[in-house]
Amino acid sequence: MKKPTFSAALPSKDREYPRYQAYSLHNFRKIPQLKRLSEEQIFDIEVVGNVFPFKTNNYVVDELINWDEVPHDPIFVLTFPQKEMLQPHHYREMAKILRSGADPEKINRAANRIRAQLNPHPAGQMEHNVPELEGRKLTGIQHKYRETVLFFPNQGQTCHAYCTFCFRWPQFVGIDEWKFAMKETDLLVEYLRRHPEASDVLFTGGDPLIMSPRLLAGYLEALLEADLPNLQNIRLGTKALGYWPYKFFADPGAEELLALFEKVARSGKHLAIMAHFSHYRELSTPAVRKAIRKIKQTGAEIRTQSPVLRHINADAQTWAKMWKEQVRLGCIPYYMFVVRDTGAQHYFGVPLVEAWHIFRKAYQMVSGISRTARGPSMSCGPGKVQVLGVSEVNEEKVMVLRMLQGRNPAWVNRPFFAQYDPEAIWLDDLQPAFGKERFFFEEEFPLPRARKFRHGAASLKSAEAAKTLS
């Protein structure tokens, strides 16, 4: 790989590390490396970037992307909008509007029309799982699985760069108006106090580590001071190690951040950094390695996760290399996800059977201590469903599945069977095996089976959403 240049964003030569510089639709043409792209390629970015969120930064551009491999470079695909992410007719619609020089309002209306057809709210995210406290809806909390409470701090609703596959894309383009977000720490503490079954709180977003260390300290210290006996694990879900590792040792407040980690770890709670890494390239720079070292020195643990993504990491070698590298650096592989049924799933999606082959082959290539990863796993309505594999029972070819997490805790770890379907990409594409009509959990939680979304047609729900958006 090329040596980092820091050319784009370093205003002065007296700074050892680059200063964060975000690039999005309004300024990405200033990225020096873009000279390597044709006008047509740049226009494609603009077309797709008007529908899906687009943000990258100088670390991603200067240190992660190998511009010799663009447009096929995995990190380029990970952060720059790709033409094929839109269905051809949506692409044509948006391209035509941009070429006509339409005003921003008209562009936005067209964008919302297209977005509404891309299943912006999969798995009932918005309706289910929002708990209440004395009749008040806690919109910043999701409590779906008994042990783990998700918390969406108000100031953590963006990221250092955006992944092109991200299922949170509706909140980044403003459809959701940060509906999840919440700032009241007191309510979180009170909620955890009243739910002694919850042992974990997982800060998520966006990226909670986009917050200033001082703000984050406000949340974490409140949790420590509350002295909740049930709270064992505090997790921070973040892509900062992948997209802006300078956060941990060079940015203003880096020392404060590490001191905060140390304080949590010393308090007797387990602090887990849940790091998203989608490719081993993200583990290769001096900056990320230094950040990992610094975090580990505080006593915090780093666990890693990513979806399996076409055009980025959809092969076993990439996963095996990534897991090995993570373990060597002291991180613990945790989940391999399957991309969910939203946005550009047709572009990034990998069928369940193929994802299982990738998982299995990668698993075979690494030693036992790298086999802490579980997957491939779908986060769907009833729970996190893992594809255990393909097998044959009484001459019927079946897929064996189990829940790693369940809306009903009694569902967890109970194997179940679906008809073999090499094209299925999501749980509701699957049919129960052995002539059964429903999966065992469907008495409580029926699946919406008439879904047409993966062929690009709008679902009923999305059509309704389209009405309210346009």
Which of 82, 326, 379, 462 binds ligand PLP (CB under 6 A)? It is: 379
For the bound state, the minimum distance from the C-beta of residue 134 to ligand PLP, rounded and expressed in Å, comes to: 23
Q: Which stretch binds ligand SF4 (CB under 6 A): 40-48, 201-209, 321-329, 366-374?
A: 201-209
195 touches ligand PLP (CB under 6 A) = no
Give which of 427, 372, 420, 421 is closest to 403, Cα–Cα: 427
Closer to ligand PLP at the Cβ: 202 or 433? 202
- In this complex, which beta carbon is closest to ligand PLP, that of residue 82 or of residue 386? 386
Chain centroid offset of residue 214 CA: 25
Amino acid at 245: P
Residue 151 lies near ligand PLP (rule: CB under 6 A): no
> Which of ligand SF4, ligand PLP, none does 181 bind, CB closer than 5 to 8 A by kind?
none
Q: Measure the CA–CA gap between 258 and 296, rounded to whole angstroms.
A: 10
Q: Is 407 in the site for ligand PLP (CB under 6 A)?
A: no
C-alpha torsion sign, points 52, 53, 58, 63:
negative
Q: Does 79 bind ligand PLP (CB under 6 A)?
A: no
- The kind and range of the H/E element at 133 are strand 132-133
Q: Which is nearer to ligand PLP, 124 or 448 (by Cβ)? A: 124
Near ligand PLP by CB under 6 A, which window of 10-18, 137-145, 312-320, 415-423?
Answer: 137-145
Per CB under 6 A, does 319 bind ligand PLP? no
Distance between CA atoms of 200 and 269, rounded to whole angstroms?
10
**Comparison of 167 and 417: residue with beta carbon closer to ligand SF4:** 167
Part of the chain binding ligand SF4 (CB under 6 A), chosen from 105-113, 204-212, 285-293, 444-452: 204-212
Check residue 196 and give left, alpha or beta (phi > 0: left; psi -120 to 50: alpha): alpha
Q: How would DSSP label each residue in 251-310?
A: STTHHHHHHHHHHHHHTTPEEEEEEE--SGGGG-SHHHHHHHHHHHHTT-EEEEEEEE-T
For residue 322, the minimal CB distance to ligand PLP (Å) is: 19
Residue 145 in the binding site for ligand PLP (CB under 6 A): yes
Binding site for ligand PLP (CB under 6 A): 142, 144-145, 147-148, 150, 200, 202, 379, 384, 405
